[in-house]
Structure 1
Amino acid sequence: MSVRRTAALTVCAAMAAGASACAGGGDVEPAATTTSPVAVHSLPERPLPEDVVTRVADDLAPPTNRWYSSLAFGASGLPVFPKPLAVTAADGGFGLGLTAPEASADVILAPARTDIAVSIAGAEGPGVVTAADPVAVTVTWGDASMSLAQGWPAVGLTAHSALESEVSVAFAPAGGKVSTAAVDGRVYGVVVDGGDIDGTTLTLDEGGTAQFFAVPDGGDATAFADALGDVVTAVAWSGWAGEDVATTSLDYGTPTVVTMPQARADGAELKCDLGTYATINGPYAVCRAQDVAWDVAAVAPRAALDLDGLTDAERTAIRKALAEDVAAQPELPVDTYFGAKALSRLATLLTIARALDEEALAEDLASVLSEQLRMWGDPERCATETDRCFVYDSLLEGVVGYATAFGSEEFNDHHFHYGYLLHAAAVLGSESPEIVDEIGPVMDLLAADIAHGVGGPMPAIRAFDPVEGHSWASGFSPFADGNNQESSSEAVAAWNAVALWAQVRGDATLEERARWLLASEADAARRLWLAPDLTSFSGFDHTIVALQWGAKRDYATWFSPEPNAMLGIQLIPASPAQAVPLAQVGPERIEQAVAEAAPHGFDVQFGDYLLMYRALAGDSQRTIAWEQARSLPATAIDDGNSRTAMLAWIAAAP
């Protein structure tokens, strides 16, 4: 979850007609060929109290939930972090510096630094975002533009007419086409095409460019410069999923220098002879490439647990818990997080009731779900009500739900919130086609808000970063450490829900895109949060990371300092699709993480999820978890979970 803040959006009465969804962007073709248009519904206008301050071109939707979103929103002067660099748009120019990660007991931190400042003659203010895609961004000051891209370890400056800039340090020729400067032991290079750099004075002809970079460890400025092509101003991306693997493909538009985790570079069989960079995620290889593609293990979307192998005792215990949970249904919240989460809880109970042939209980659950989803799925409800409904924001080009939660009016956490709703809609819709027709148009818009393809009324894959392989939770990213994501597991659950909804709707293209997002996010959750390689950070005292930022990795959460919260927020809501990816963390690491999270027992927040995770560590741990779960106090069961679901998960643990 991201930090709670208050701001405002302007919303419009109706969306423009949508284009077909697709899996990728630019010149990279998606694998799927079948597609259906995003359903477009008229949503009522509901202006919020204040205007959102943006710094974007008139024809560009302000880019929320990106690694660079702070360039477009709010206060100026916040850095962004295209690894391994930190870049800050300043008044009349920009600064850059090579980050240097350091580890302490609870954090791995690589704060921003400005070793080189570039002042553009005649430029004022922090610039305006004039181009943006999920990987790359361009900021413009009048006749000059700065371009950045994740995975491209350079900063490009392009002159739209002849201009002069002042650089804070003097660069000297270093052979070939590169000039270099040293700052505090770091060596920087610049390659100028269509201009010249003389000491601290940079002149560019119309169309001229300068590319600044930090020389990698073990690298050479001349070799790096020779590998650079044109300035990278856009990155074409694509993602698709097969039965065994999901593939991400990027095209930087020119033969150039790219950087990525060493394991990814090895798997892609790239020529990576330009050195390495130290990053908060470990060593990054520096390679020569234009096109980059890599695979991760596919994850099958799942709506229900496989309960066929239950013992009689397990079946009896789960049935008893199910009857009690259905009889003790709490009052349902109405906001977009806890309200949606409550419906997802009911949907999970419904799948278990069907699996156990408890048809009377299943019908009770389906009745409540049907009533609630019809409210959430009513496109006109926000015209008269203030909760369980949605509006369309024409400024940020997305769907905002009422009542808001955790800054969702700023587009914080939309994938978490809408994932819960889509899960509930998919489960009920799979057995009630008539409700799919009724609520489908609104649910389609929720899916489009978080997982849209290229074209039409929504930004493509709004929150997902194809290079990092995970989502960003903050809409505006008003932080000195870049954007962040806390709950890797809710992100995984969201893409599972989109895939399930796509199956109900018969949308093959959306399903494939969701399967790619699901596999990528599950891989990142394991790689960065739950089973991170921390060999480069001996000072860090924990086995997991709880909060991933652009510039740091925290053992901390937004809501609690307790160790049970650090792990629990990486497990919630323990959807059926998460079981196999979580089990792949491995028994030893699971046991270590659970021991750290619950040193005094499981009567703590997220104690239920900790026991469910423990059950994945092998048969003996599953047996222990089962007995502890049966007696776990109700206060330790999350409001999005139930004793029924906890017991069923443990009994069905792979």
Structure 2
Amino acid sequence: MKLPRARSPRGLVRPAAALSAIALTAAALTTTVGASTASAATIKVGLGGYTDTRPAGTVGPSNSDGAPLTPKVTARMAGQAVPTNDWWSSLVFQRYAGNPYSENLYAHPFTFKAAAGGLEVGYPTNPTITPDGRQYDFTHTKDLTVGVAGLNAPDTKVDGWTDWTVTPQWTDGAHTFSATVGHGLPYVYAHATGGAAQITAAGTPTVFANQGNVLGITVGGHHYGLFAPTGTSWNVNGTVLSAALGAKDYYSVAVLPSAGDLALYRTYAYSFVTDTKVAWSYDAGSVTTSYTATTTAQEGSQTGTLLALYPHQWKASTDPLTALTYTSPRGQMKVRQGSGFSTTMKADAILPSLPDVGGQDRAALGAMVREVANAADPFMGASDTYWTGKALARLGQLVPIADQLGDTATRDKLLGLMKGRLQTWFAGTGSTVFAYDNVWKTLIGYPASYGSDGELNDHHFHYGYYIQAAATVARYDAAWAADSAWGGMVKLLAKDAANADRADTRFPWLRSFDPYAGHGWAAGHAAFAAGNNEESSSESLNFSAGLILYGSATGDTALRDLGTYLYTTESRAVEQYWFNADQSAFPAGFGHQTAGMVWGSGAAYSTWWTASPGMIHGINYLPITGGSLYLARRQDDIKANLAELKANNGGVFTDWRDLAWEFQALADPAAAKANWDAGKDGYTPEEGESKAHTYHWIYNLAALGTLDPATTSDQPTSAVFVNGGTRTHVAHNYSTTARAVHFSDGYTLTVPGRSTASERGSFQDGGSGGVPSPSPSPSPSPSSSPSPSPSPSVPPTSGSTFYLQPGGGLTTAYGTGATSSTIASAGGTNHDGTPYQPTVYELRNVNGTLRAGAATEFDLYLDAGSAVGLGQQVRISYDLTGNGSFDRVETYRYFATDPVTGWERYSATAGLASATGSLGNLANGTVRVEVWSAIGSAPAQLRTGATQAQGSASVLRIPFS
């Protein structure tokens, strides 16, 4: 959540218009609640610390009237670290004095709201779109109220939670009721005492099945299954449905995709989900995440359940799914039968900074850097946590630039400014301080801003800037970042927003990140009719990137891997739910292809403080750093995003032009460079930016080209760029000794200790290309001298990289001359997922050992000429023993070619459409590639036989060594 943000000039600017369909209440930012009268103590953390009492005159968590709050939990949960900033936080954080139950809760596919008589349940399937087309909502509308007969509770308290579920409880002295609900759960698991199970429908229900203790009803056009204990029966009396539970205390309610699914849902109706857990691992450039639901049988012995996966999950999972689906504000959810599932995603590229390979005017760049460093107030008047963080980031982005220019004096001055300001905040004394709230188990920075104190908003946004700044300092001064020095406070800030240690009870687990939704939530209380929200997805990613960089800089691999999990997962969610990359998240009628804000109920083309298109788009770009490379994964989406920005902005970039240019440089660096050259003298930088950094970013990307997201490495801080036929491998090594970084395209780059190294060569997919020209960008500690240039290695002629050749061959060497193979037309019919007259490439008698965590990769260069509406698809099959039976078959989503002559790259980043079987070691096995037209009425061309010098070679990389 972002309340109105201060912009230059630094006055609060209220939103231009209220967001209709959302009950927006301005935060009482000026209300003060006296601090505790107890003497404040500084809790030492290394050389710094925090206070256990907030400064006088400041606020802690409070309601909209300014009254202090305690978490609304049962006695059993008292003293626990309560999750805030979640989809269900209005249950535990009573923002409004007159509502002791909850605001609307969005746990897709369900929606809920707590009331005196129990839990309202809905399944909205038709969005409401504002007349101006700027916002859509699948707003909670109750179909049922689930509870116990006679219940009239004075409030609702939380009686437990797991990674993606919550259990609210109602008591009124004579009755008790609890319900476990969560993301992806199509069931409500209820426990009731003191009366019969009672469900009240919003209208007279249609009963389509009556099996005694199992009832199928339709209400509001939605189908539900009601499951009472065996031996009981449901009684229907108008809109009230009840079942005497006798000695039992349980029942469940399921929302059904169709009335015909009642029998399947009955199978799992008594297998109650009692725990959920998310776990992740990072290895060899991939992030694997497991989602596990633990069940307890209320009767019988059934285990497992049904889980509805969001698009960012099912697109990254090879686990079998049913044909069942649900509607949600995020697009279609697909149902998995079992006790869990897993996803595998390529880790997104990240660098601490871009290497120095551009053609910028170094004298002019140096002058720009010194102008910022030597300013009378380099922090631009910043005093609160958010704006101090922005100022730290602005300075931090200039440190490696000064270092690359050899201006060590300016580099060290910038580092000194950053250290001084961080140490002031980390000292644990004075009015600029972090204070620990033992009631809400949170660390709040004072002076606070945008409700980071009274509402617990935005901690990941604010603290991400501090962690990023500390990572920059640690890159050059490892001693400063030691836990015994100032690093302990950095890690404490990380814990506040993303505590991944389940044994650490000082903070809730992953406060600011929703592991099932795949992204962060910004409001601490979620007290809106539209649920919780997140505006600046990019500042959430900035926090995760900070964890990767700080963990890498300090050797904390657990923190690094946590950051990699958060960064990679949220980038996929942002791609789908903010940028609508696959055109499947936003409903028809929503007049935009990007969202400034995502809500539990939907999304809006808006911000909290302005209707300016430049800022609506830019709030999901900033800050532009080496941690912004995730944005470059879908260059088509960047172009669509900027096209909409221009269309809504009179055909030009106006507000935050520097951010738009930097974003553009990730997909079209030449155009960005032209925009910079033409406009560099006539704009004001965004408050967290500088002209020096924007210049450096654009000019270096103009030389590097665009990101190759399909190529990963065994070093988290690395990336590969492509500019025409030239590939550039970049990696940063935080350790003190040189290390070899192995890229998935077969290239090895040796990076000196504490340095960034880059290699630029006219080779393709692992070939050495003659003698590439290494371009080291050393980033040594301030007291050291630049390291020697890295030496690229030349891979062997045999290996796991195979080039497609004319006539259907696969070879480990390039071809002898580029030709094209014709991909037959789809004939105007749909062949998505099923090969149709495929062009086949095959290699037999292949031996190889499966590499842990590795996955199939490919680059296929296609050209549809001027034909419109074509899409080509690939299936890759592995016969592990050569017996004629394929043990693993992977079908990828088809690639929609454009109607412009020229080769287009189709890669594994398109994602799996389906997969069957499992991989194992190859022993005289067979590898087969099939390419066909999934849609369209014209043939296409596939480039084959390309030589190393020609580039753009169609290639398959198999996950074997």
TM-score (norm 1): 0.89
Who is 1:622 aligned against?
672
The secondary structure found in structure 2 opposite 1:220 is helix
Who is 1:652 aligned against?
700
Aligned match of 2:443 in 365, 388, 399? 399
1:126 maps to 2:171: no
Counterparts in 2 of 1:597 and 1:577: CA distance versus 1, 3 Å = farther
Aligned match of 1:56 in 58, 70, 73? 73
Counterparts in 2 of 1:217 and 1:628: CA distance versus 1, 3 Å = farther
Aligned match of 1:554 in 604, 608, 616? 604
Cα distance in 2, alignment partners of residues 498 and 267 from structure 1: 23
- The answer to whether the 8 A contact 1:101-1:280 is kept is no
Counterparts in 2 of 1:449 and 1:262: CA distance versus 1, 3 Å = closer
Cα distance in 2, alignment partners of residues 289 and 156 from structure 1: 17
Aligned match of 2:168 in 129, 139, 149? 139
1:346 maps to 2:390: no
Who is 1:84 aligned against?
109
- The answer to whether the 8 A contact 2:191-2:251 is kept is yes
Q: Give 1:197 shift.
A: 2.6
Give CA-to-partner distance per residue, 1:370-423, whole Å, 9 cap, x none. 2111101112x1xxx222x10001111110000001100122000010000111
Cα distance in 2, alignment partners of residues 243 and 103 from structure 1: 44
In structure 1, what residue type is equivalent to 2:493?
A: L
- The answer to whether the 8 A contact 1:162-1:204 is kept is no
The secondary structure found in structure 2 opposite 1:461 is coil
The secondary structure found in structure 1 opposite 2:242 is strand
Q: Which consecutive aligned stretches of 4+ in structure 1 deviate over 4 angstroms post-superposition? A: 7-17, 37-42, 170-173
The secondary structure found in structure 2 opposite 1:152 is coil
Who is 2:523 aligned against?
474
Counterparts in 2 of 1:446 and 1:77: CA distance versus 1, 3 Å = closer
Who is 2:367 aligned against?
320
Cα distance in 2, alignment partners of residues 503 and 245 from structure 1: 17
Q: Give 1:163 shift.
A: 3.5
1:495 maps to 2:503: no
- The answer to whether the 8 A contact 1:39-1:445 is kept is no
Cα distance in 2, alignment partners of residues 369 and 285 from structure 1: 48
Cα distance in 1, alignment partners of residues 277 and 194 from structure 2: 29
> Whose RCO is larger (CA < 8 A, sep 6+)?
1
Who is 2:905 aligned against?
none
The secondary structure found in structure 2 opposite 1:257 is strand
- The answer to whether the 8 A contact 1:274-1:286 is kept is yes
In structure 2, what residue type is equivalent to 1:54?
A: P
Counterparts in 2 of 1:530 and 1:44: CA distance versus 1, 3 Å = same
Q: Percent identity?
A: 25
Counterparts in 2 of 1:132 and 1:364: CA distance versus 1, 3 Å = same
Correspondence 1:215-254 to 2 at 5 A:
215-217=256-258, 220-254=261-295
In structure 1, what residue type is equivalent to 2:625?
A: S
Cα distance in 2, alignment partners of residues 288 and 331 from structure 1: 55
Aligned match of 1:163 in 195, 199, 203? 195
Give CA-to-partner distance per residue, 1:270-305, whole Å, 9 cap, x none. 443352211111111123121111122212443212
Q: Give 1:234 shift.
A: 2.4
Who is 2:815 aligned against?
none
Give CA-to-partner distance per residue, 1:454-504, whole Å, 9 cap, x none. 121111111111111100000011101111001010011111112222233
Who is 1:431 aligned against?
476
Q: Give 1:122 shift.
A: 4.2
Give CA-to-partner distance per residue, 1:326-379, whole Å, 9 cap, x none. 233353411000011101111111121112211121122112112111101112
Who is 1:601 aligned against?
652
Correspondence 1:42-441 to 2 at 5 A:
43-46=51-54, 48-49=58-59, 50-57=67-74, 58-74=78-94, 75=99, 76-102=101-127, 104=129, 105-120=133-148, 121-142=150-171, 143-159=176-192, 161=193, 163-169=195-201, 173-175=209-211, 178-193=214-229, 195-199=232-236, 200-205=241-246, 208-217=249-258, 220-254=261-295, 255-262=304-311, 264-265=313-314, 267-273=316-322, 275-307=324-356, 309-311=357-359, 313-328=360-375, 329-379=378-428, 381=429, 385-387=430-432, 389-409=433-453, 410-437=455-482, 438-441=485-488
Give CA-to-partner distance per residue, 1:423-454, whole Å, 9 cap, x none. 11111122223422432222221011012111
Q: State which drifts further: 620-629 or 395-404.
A: 620-629
- The answer to whether the 8 A contact 1:93-1:126 is kept is no
Cα distance in 1, alignment partners of residues 125 and 405 from structure 2: 55
In structure 2, what residue type is equivalent to 1:197?
A: W
Q: Give 1:316 shift.
A: 3.9
In structure 2, what residue type is equivalent to 1:392?
A: Y
Cα distance in 2, alignment partners of residues 583 and 287 from structure 1: 27
The secondary structure found in structure 1 opposite 2:289 is strand
More helix, by proportion: 1
In structure 2, what residue type is equivalent to 1:579?
A: L
- The answer to whether the 8 A contact 1:322-1:349 is kept is yes
Counterparts in 2 of 1:357 and 1:531: CA distance versus 1, 3 Å = farther
Structure 2 segments unaligned to the other structure (5+ residues): 4-25, 60-66, 296-303, 707-961
The secondary structure found in structure 2 opposite 1:331 is coil
Who is 1:34 aligned against?
none
Counterparts in 2 of 1:494 and 1:241: CA distance versus 1, 3 Å = same
- The answer to whether the 8 A contact 1:229-1:256 is kept is no
- The answer to whether the 8 A contact 1:216-1:286 is kept is no
The secondary structure found in structure 2 opposite 1:617 is coil
- The answer to whether the 8 A contact 1:583-1:617 is kept is no
1:641 maps to 2:641: no
Q: Give 1:229 shift.
A: 4.9
- The answer to whether the 8 A contact 1:343-1:424 is kept is yes
- The answer to whether the 8 A contact 1:100-1:111 is kept is no
Q: State which drifts further: 116-125 or 63-72.
A: 116-125
In structure 1, what residue type is equivalent to 2:465?
A: Y
For these two proteins, the number of residue pairs brought into alignment is 624
In structure 1, what residue type is equivalent to 2:487?
A: G
Counterparts in 2 of 1:295 and 1:176: CA distance versus 1, 3 Å = farther
- The answer to whether the 8 A contact 1:224-1:274 is kept is no
1:545 maps to 2:577: no
Give CA-to-partner distance per residue, 1:4-55, whole Å, 9 cap, x none. 62476988967999xxxxxxxxxxxxxxxxxxx9999552312755411532
TM-score (norm 2): 0.62
Who is 1:28 aligned against?
none
Give CA-to-partner distance per residue, 1:165-209, whole Å, 9 cap, x none. 332136854448631222122221112236543221133345532
> Which structure has the bigger radius of gyration?
2
- The answer to whether the 8 A contact 1:332-1:342 is kept is no
